Each structure stands twice: as C-alpha cells, then as structure tokens.
A and B are shown apart, each in its own frame.
Chain A
Amino acid sequence: MNAEDSLYNPQEARIIGKRKLTDDTKLFELELENGERLNQEPGQFVELSIPGVGEAPISVTSSPTRGLPSFELCVRAVGNVTNALHEKSIGSTVGIRGPYGEGFPTEELQGQDLLFIAGGLGIAPLRSLINYVLDKRDEYNDINILYGCKRPCEQMFDDEVNHWARRQDIYHEATVDFCPDNVCWGGNIGVITELIPGVDIDLDNTYAVVCGPPVMYQFVLEELDKKELPHEHIYLSLERRMKCGLGKCGHCQINGAEEVLYACQDGPVFNYERVKGFEEAV
C-alpha cells in the first residue's frame, strides 16, 4: 500500500525547538523531514502522533507567514499523547497528519476591525491568525486583542504579548481570574467578559474571533450581544477529539435539530450564525 494512499500514515516531523510556556504547556517547533512546508491556513489543525502512544488533534499555533518551513504546536500535557510529546527532546521525531479543517476566513476579514478574544489555551489557535494579520497589517483595520488566563503564571507567549502591548496600532488588554498577593500583575483582575465593554466596536466593520474553554463561550457571546455585534461577524474555534480528521470516525459531530456538523471538516472554525442553533456547539 502506498503511503500517500493510506490517509492514516503520518509524515515524519522533527522537533527543532522546544520551549516551556507555563508549568504544563510547551511550544514545539517542528519541521517535516521531507523538507516540505506544512502549508497550513491559520486555524487549521494536525493529527500529532507518537507511535506506541497514539494520535491527538492539535491546532497549529504558528502563522504560515512565519518561520517557514517549520511550524509550531502549543501543547498542554493533559493526556497520553501530549504527555509523551512533552518528554520528547529536540532532534527526536513525531508523526504529523494534516493540516485538516476549515480555518479562519482570512479573506473575509480583510479590511475589517478585528476583536480577538482568547481564554487560556484558546490563545494557541488564535495566535496563528493574530500573527498572520500582524504580518499583513496593511490589509486589516483596527486590531483588538483580549486575552484572559486563570492566573498570571498561565499567560503564554509573554514576549509577543508585550509586543502587542507596546504597539500603537493594537488595542490590547489582558486579564487574570486571580492574582496571588506576591505576584506583580499590570493587567486587569477578573473574567475576560469584563474587558469587552471597553472595546470600541464599529458594528458594521468589526469581526470577533473567539477561542477558549467551552464554559467561556456563553458568557463572551452574551457580552457581544450587548454590544449588538451581528452574529455573522463572530467566528468561534471549537474543540473536539477528532480521531480521524477525515470526516469519518464520528467523534467530532456537533448535532442539531436540522443537521450535523463535523468539527474536522466544517470547522474547527465556525461562524456563530451557522452554529448557534446547535445546542451541542459549546
């Protein structure tokens, strides 16, 4: 059987960089062994595999505008595959299938004001689009980035976050749910929804791009509703445990009264207007 025909045979990728982001989350820089580019679009995901342990769907956190031919995965150690990846050292190889799925609509967003809302690890997929947009800064209008974490030590990509904060052409606010007394924190303390009223939203031209833990969406969407942002102007990146990435295994189905969506084919990035009737969406 030809490797290309298999659909399931991973490509070998070498870890060329590994960096601790938080106590349980690391950033891996990978390069395909065949020297080719991954050719991902912002918001797409790959099936990461470690032979003997298994596969897990991971969103690509790097923008295709940067670091080519390598790409980056931001991975929290929470399961078998992610824990095994954390044990891997620079120079070792892993398997990659993909990229899969529908990413962010970069063309539709051109010329618009953008409001990024990231909660916790949700920054990982959003970062692919944030850096994409920053690298094509002229093609996009105002950029607002709201980033919330549980506590200061869980904020990731500090250097990039500091860069956003310094830039005059980006509105950036960070928040933490809780800050211990002995930690210095210059941002807001409270949930991420507290930051939304402070954003200047031009209803006709603003698009919100949201990613975070499932519990976050409802509250963020309520807050965006108060701003009266049209639902067609909201994009959500949703997480499911895709086992195949090919629209077959059934695990990532999001069901509704009318139809079923496959997060791995129709998503993982969805327009809110499209998914709001799906009670399983968030």
Chain B
Amino acid sequence: MKAINKNDFSEFVDDLIENDDREVVGVQTKSNEFAFDPLKSAEDLRLDYDVTILPPKKYFMPQRETLVEYNLNEGETTPVNQVVPRIIMGIHPYDLVAIEQMDKVFEDTHEDPYYLEKRRQSVLVGVNMANVSDRSFAHTMGTATTDTGYDIMLTDIGDRYAIEVGSSKGSNLLEKAGQAVDDITTDEIRKVKQFKEELPKKFKKDTKFDPFELPSLLKNYYENDEFWEENAEDCLSCGTCNLVCPTCYCFDVQDVNDISLSEGERLRTWDGCMLEAFAEVAGDENFREEKAARYRHRYMRKGRYMYNRFGDIACVGCGRCSEQCLPDIADPVEVFNQMKEGTS
C-alpha cells in the first residue's frame, strides 16, 4: 500500500487533466446531486460523494453508441467503434463490482468489441465510500468494499489518501505521480482497516435478508402473482430503475439517418425491461404485457437469472433505483425484506 498527500493528489489530477492524452472524468456536483463528468480541475473532484445519478457504465456502454455507419446511396456499411480512452476517478466499490459483472456479460457467448475495447482503454480509480446515501445497502450485498475491479483504489485517511494498486494499468498511472507517492505508515494501514470496519455502521437501510438467499426466495415467490401485483401497483413503467442500474445492460438497435438523408448510423441505445414495449413482437403480441410481469422480471434478473448464469447477484445495493423511482416502489430492500419475512 502507498499513500499520497491530498494536495499532491490534486496536483497529480490537474497534471493528468492538462497533459495526459486520455480524457479525465470524475465525480462532481450536478445541481444537488453527484455525477461522473469530464474534469476541468481537480478542485471539482468530489471524492466524498455518497452516490452518483448514473453509474459509470455509461463510459463502456454509452446511452447512444454507433455500431455501424452506412451510406444510403451505395448501401455500404462500415463498422465503427468510437473509443475515448479515459481515466475515471472516484468509483465506489459497488460500482466496481457491477463493472466486473458487466465484463462477464460482454465477454460471454460472443465477445462484444464495443464494450470490451472501451473497458480496455479505461483506467478505473476507485475510492472507498466516505459517505453513504440513505438508500444504499451495499454493506448487505457485500459490495461496500472490494479487493478487485479497480486499477487503483483510494481511501481517505485524513491529510492523505491511502492507495492500493490493483493492476499494471494502475501502477503505470501512479508512476506519473512520481515522488509524491510515498510508502504508507503502519498507523495509516490501521486507519484504512478501521475505515473499512466502521463503514457498515454508516448504512441506514435495515436489511433482513442475506444476498445468497435471494435466488431461492425469488424462485419461491415467482408464482406469487399477488405479491408482484401489489408491489408493482403504482409502477409508471418509466424504466428509470433500469437506466440508473449499474448492472442493467439491455439495449435496442436502431438506425438514425442524418439530415442529408445520404448517410446514417446504426445505434445501440439503452433499453429497459420495465418499458411496456420491451417484450413486444409482431402482431400486437406482448409477452410481458402486465406491469407486474415486468416488475417481477427485473427482480428475477437481479437475484436469480444472473446468479444462475454467472454466479453473481446482480444487485450491488447502490440504492439508485430506489432513490430515482418517482412512485418510490423500486426499493429492493423493501421487496427482499417482504420476501424474507413472508417465508421465515
């Protein structure tokens, strides 16, 4: 483990913004919330944030992403992968866990070059959670801290940040900070340990379940229509919970022509299983017509299907869906607690 003075770290970030070829992005305030955005100055970087509006998945799977460019006159298609190499500053552990899960999805069956190349050309700078949002339950999901998924990981230990290096990408980045990076003291190592140990106390959500019970709880509740109908009753089918989820990756593929009508792009755009048209087919058939069926699908996916396929519980406890849901019915803790209490 290494350490760096906070002032030196700011200078290091400013130097990267100024001189590194890669785009430097990080967590900043946006209205009254936090968001990952390009950094203009290290001053704007807020490593003390609680949660961002959107997870950093937008850098590997952008909201709109060109897959193929086409020429309408000649009918020619050209694949393009618009990769912006990036240094991403301030990723919380639960989001790092989510990124590791997404990596498996895009590596599985057919390796997806669009996602994977963006991942390869990104450096992930993690930060341990200095603050916790009211809706987060990452402590329960085992994602409040992580030993993997980052290139470097920072922990606020007062005047300095402790630094853990997770990869050669991380050590290469750190080399650019030169002499400012120092060996960590025994006392500081103790502080990091203490930081992680005290973190669970900062969470406010009262969870009654163990994450690895979720696959079997969900299986037992699958056919409990009443349970899903009651929970989904006020759902607006807006898909916000999908959009803000760090492990949601479903997408649509659509063509958009430019104004000349001679060229255009085939885009991959974010989609969501909570939207009414998601499971429609020709002839006005819809395999998930009822909002309760869509609501259940989202939970099955998070707690059972992804676990079956990859061994991961695909809810990392960030609390974004819960926080952003207008009718406030998306909180996984409420649903998981209900399931646990109903069966125990």
Contact = CB atoms under 8 A, between A and B. Distances in A.
A75 to B, nearest CB: 11
Interface in B70-96: 70-72, 75, 77-81
B21 interface: no
Contact of A249 (B253, B282, B304): B253
A213 B283 contact: yes
A248 B105 contact: yes
A54 interface: yes
Interface size class of chain A, counting residues whose CB lies under 8 Å from the partner chain = 35 or more
A260 B255 contact: no
Given A51-B77, A214-B285, A239-B282, A248 B109 contact: yes
A1 to B, nearest CB: 5
B257 interface: yes
A136 interface: no
Contacts of A249: 250-253, 271
Interface in B162-181: none
B264 A51 contact: yes
Interface stretch (B32-40, B135-143, B273-281): B273-281
A95 B264 CA distance: 15
B219 A258 contact: yes
B77 A265 contact: no
B287 A5 contact: no
A154 interface: no
A248 B297 contact: no
A255 B309 CA distance: 13
Nearest to B79: A6
Interface in A117-167: none
A257 B253 contact: no
Contacts of B271: 243, 249-251
A9 B110 contact: no
B252 A51 contact: no
B288 interface: yes
A79 interface: yes
A177 interface: no
A113 interface: no
B57 interface: no
Nearest to A95: B77
Contact of A79 (B77, B109, B282): B282
Given A1-B80, A8-B79, A244 B282 contact: no
A51 B249 contact: no
Contacts of A95: 77
Nearest to B254: A54
Given A7-B112, A54-B254, A257 B301 contact: no
Contact of B287 (A1, A51, A244, A254): A254
A62 interface: no
Interface in B264-318: 264, 266, 268, 271, 273, 278-283, 285, 287-288, 293, 297, 300-301, 304-305, 308-309
Interface string A36-71: 000000000000010111110000000000000000
Nearest to B284: A78
Query: Does more than half of chain B's interface fall in helix, strand or loop, or is it mixed?
Result: mixed
Given A7-B113, A250-B271, A255 B297 contact: yes
Given A8-B266, A78-B283, A95-B77, A259 B305 contact: yes
A5 B113 contact: yes
A191 interface: no
Given A6-B79, A55-B253, A243-B252, A248 B106 contact: yes
Nearest to B285: A214
A39 B223 CA distance: 41
B108 interface: yes
A265 B108 CA distance: 12
A6 B113 contact: yes
B219 A248 contact: no
Nearest to B257: A52
Contact of B280 (A5, A241, A258): A241
Contact of A8 (B106, B108, B253, B288): B253
A9 B68 CA distance: 6
Contact of A6 (B67, B109, B255, B283): B67
Contact of A244 (B253, B273, B288): B253
Nearest to B108: A247
B90 to A, nearest CB: 28
Contacts of A258: 219, 308
Contacts of A214: 281, 285, 287
Interface string A243-277: 11011111101111111100001000000000000
Contact of A257 (B70, B222, B287): B222
B68 A6 contact: yes
A1 B68 CA distance: 10
A243 B75 CA distance: 21
Interface string A5-41: 1111110100000000000000000000000000000
Contacts of B266: 8, 49, 51, 54-55
A246 B250 CA distance: 12
A84 to B, nearest CB: 10
A214 B283 CA distance: 10
B314 to A, nearest CB: 12
Interface centre among A246, A255, A256, A258 (most CB of B within 10 A): A255
Contacts of A5: 79, 113
The 3 closest A-B pairs by CB, nearest first: A250-B250, A6-B79, A257-B222
Interface of B: 67-68, 70-72, 75, 77-81, 105-106, 108-110, 112-114, 219, 222-223, 249-255, 257, 264, 266, 268, 271, 273, 278-283, 285, 287-288, 293, 297, 300-301, 304-305, 308-309
6 contacts: A8-B253, A51-B70, A54-B254, A241-B279, A246-B112, A280-B287
